Amino acid sequence: MCNKSFSESSNLQLHKRRLHSNRRPYGCPYCGKLFKTNTELKRHVRIHTGAKPYSCRHCSQRFTQLSQLKTLPLKSHNEGTWLTCNICQKKFCVNGDLKKHLLPHGAIKSYVCSQCPKYFYAVHEMKRHQLVHSDYKQFCCGLCGKDFKLKCYVVRHYKKCSAKV
């Protein structure tokens, strides 16, 4: 009984550190981006190395992410299992993608930015937007070291920066 309590407490501490802390002790050796967990860092590093550790048992395709492998049977090997939007008939192979797609079809933008009058369908959209109001820059160009608030900004910059080299 005591061990179970310790285990639950330990799991709670781990959960708090991973999800609710802003501490990011794991840095990418290629681009400098910081991560909360070593697992997130390993997943990210595959972008730079091109490693594809997940392979399909039905064909020769390989993937960098397990989630990509899981959607392949729906996309390529099993056409009949698509999820369809009942409003516009767009097809999805992942239930989460369908749910995200359904938001603008009738949902109310109920999340409001505390810094400006913008409204959002989902809390994660609002949180991503709120980065424009902060000075926190978590993305770094691996070529010149310039910092950026949003991933899309560093990706666009990196393309220009690498063209100069």
Using one digit for the tens of pLDDT, what is the confidence trace for 110-139?
889 999 999 888 888 888 888 888 888 888
Span 108-165: which CATH code?
3.30.160.60
| Mean pLDDT within 12-17 | 75
Chain centroid to CA 9: how far? Answer: 28
Residue 8: its pLDDT value, please?
62
Percent of the chain with pLDDT over 90: 4
Strand stretches in 20-126, DSSP E = 26-27, 34-35, 54-55, 62-63, 83-84, 91-92, 111-112, 119-120
Percent of the chain with pLDDT over 70: 85
pTM value is 0.43
Residue 7 has pLDDT above 60, yes or no: no
Residue spans per domain, the chain? 108-165
Using one digit for the tens of pLDDT, what is the confidence trace for 25-34?
888 888 888 8
Using one digit for the tens of pLDDT, what is the confidence trace for 76-118?
666 556 778 888 888 777 778 888 888 778 777 888 999 999 9
> Which residue's entry shows tokens 């608030």?
149
